[in-house]
Amino acid sequence: MGVPPVCPVDQQFLTWLRRCREQGRDVTAVELKNKARRMADQCTVQSCHWFKLWVSRLEVHGLSQSLLGDRLPTI
């Protein structure tokens, strides 16, 4: 079994998150989920399957703002 292709949306999402961190911008859990959901909805290629799965798990299991406080953990 080979390595799955890289999802372009994965890279875009991580770039967005990295830029927010570099600019010192705090990203809330709600903002992160909304951004991920919008990006997953735009992706139409098969390689985005894992990103879409991750986003759906955010919806099912949640990324609780109360657990994280006002800031997301450093990635």
In a domain, 75, yes or no: no
Q: Which two tokens stand for residue 61?
A: 């299991």
In a domain, 1, yes or no: no
Residue with tokens 């139409």: 44
In a domain, 50, yes or no: yes
58, 36 contact by CB (below 8 A): yes
Flag whether pLDDT at 66 surpasses 50. Answer: no
> Could you give the number of structural domains in the chain?
1
The string of DSSP letters for 47-59 reads GGHHHHHHHHHHH
Which domain does 60 fall in, by range? Answer: 8-67
Whole-prediction pTM: 0.66
51, 10 contact by CB (below 8 A): yes
Q: Which two tokens stand for residue 66?
A: 């109360």
How does pLDDT run across 6-61, given as a tens digit for each residue? 678 888 898 999 999 999 998 888 898 899 889 888 887 777 888 888 888 877 66
